[in-house]
Copies of this chain bind each other. A is one copy, B any other.
Amino acid sequence: SNSTCSTIKQQDETILFHTGKTKVAFSALIEKGGAYGPFNTDVTLAFNKVFTNIGDAYKSCTGIFTAPVTGVYYFTFFYHAGGKHASLLRLFKNSEMIVRSSDHQTGSDTADNGGNAVVLQLQQGDQVYVRMPANHHVWAAENHTSFSGFQIS
């Protein structure tokens, strides 16, 4: 069931768009009640508070966006993290690391922000997701850390 994913459904998810101009688009936050990580292994961030998921191409249980049609897409992520551990997020297209954002462990600077964006040509079935390597952390609370994407053409 969806409850195992702790998906936070928004009212807007139920609005349907069935015009000829409809494009795939999604936007979600990762909300885990505070710091997320560090872990012993790399993890894919399952952004679980979904604002928008037109075309249902983003799966909040896994954090993976799968292109429903071949096309050009824009993706962006933003994160917040405390300074106690290093932070590092990497956006992947299938197994290829595309863009990333990171910050060092710093005792004096107790908060870090980062993000990145990319335009990607995707074939139907290509997957895009954000991963955090082992021994890093991110702030997964208070609507800080997000992953969004939409089809350009």
Verify if A118 is at the interface (C-beta below 8 Å from B). yes
Distance from A115 Cβ to chain B, minimum over Cβ atoms (Å): 6
A146 to B144 alpha-carbon distance, docked (Å): 18
Interface size class of A (residues with CB under 8 A): 35 or more
Which of A1-9, A16-24, A35-43, A129-137 has 4 or more CB atoms under 8 Å from chain B?
A16-24
Residues of A whose CB lies within 8 Å of any CB of B are 12, 15, 17, 19, 21-23, 25-27, 29, 51-52, 54, 71-72, 74, 76, 78, 80, 90, 97-104, 106, 108-121, 123, 142-144, 146, 148-150, 152-153
What are 5 A-to-B residue pairs whose CB atoms are below 8 Å? A19-B153, A27-B118, A78-B99, A108-B109, A115-B116
